[in-house]
Amino acid sequence: MANKSSDVFKSYLFEGVGYSGEFQIPILHSSRLLPNKLIPFSKALSTKDFAQWVHFYEDDKNFICVWNQPKKYLLLLKKFYGLISPDFSVQRNMSLFMKLDSTAKGRVLGHWWQQNGIEVIPNVRFNGDSTYNFVFEGLDKNSNLAVGSLGCIKNKEERKYFIEGLRELIKRLQPKNLIVYGTVPKKNL
């Protein structure tokens, strides 16, 4: 029998999680609150201004530590008004397993933070229609959702996939409010 200190699978994160769809994506309900101001996780580590929401729209290397050691960062994150769930990369050249893993990690962390009293708005990361079968699973229609466009706008092909995914998100989930971190070419929507 394994002791709790060797829980390499972080089973405590999955306590009370519901699952949705064919791929059993963790369900993450959204906060009804909206961010007043956003700060990236890497800057949240040293700020004294907790009257804002933490986001993870930056390179995965800057926040993988919250997955590797979630308990270490819990007390810090609880000081903020809320969080947008992590934006782990979902790239087209990744295997399906890796895309599912990235999606599930962000959702289960968001759920765990909610279980620990933190307001959370789900991030939605899509990248082509091959991701649509799971990235919208486990999220409520007509709720607050967030997306990041960093790295998705400058390149014409990436911009096309981002706009198509944004349209699909709006069609399927009809968000009450959609927080977009970065720019969106409005003429294409």
Residue written as token pair 């890497």: 42
What percent of the chain clears pLDDT 70, i.e. is strictly above it? 96
The domain ranges of the chain are 29-183
- Please state, in angstroms and rounded to a whole number, the distance separating the CA atoms of residues 185 and 8: 42
pLDDT of residue 152: 86
How does pLDDT run across 43-94, given as a tens digit for each residue? 999 999 999 999 999 999 999 999 999 999 999 999 999 999 999 999 989 9
Closest CA to 126 of 11, 13, 25: 25
For 57: left if phi > 0, alpha if psi spans -120 to 50, otherwise beta; the answer is beta
pLDDT of residue 154: 84
pLDDT of residue 46: 98
**Cβ atoms of 107 and 14 closer than 8 Å:** no
pLDDT of residue 1: 44
Q: Which one-letter amino acid corresponds to residue 84? A: I
pLDDT of residue 57: 98
Closest CA to 53 of 77, 78, 81, 75: 81
pLDDT of residue 112: 98
pLDDT of residue 185: 74
Backbone angles phi, psi at 179, to 5 degrees: -90, 125
Token duo for residue 56: 């993870």
Q: 3-class SS at 158?
A: helix
Q: What is the mean pLDDT for each group of 10 consecutive residues in the chain (189 residues)? A: 69 96 97 98 98 98 97 98 97 94 98 98 95 97 96 87 95 97 77
Q: 3-class SS at 127?
A: coil
DSSP string, 60-83: GGGTHHHHHSHHHHHHHHHTSSEE
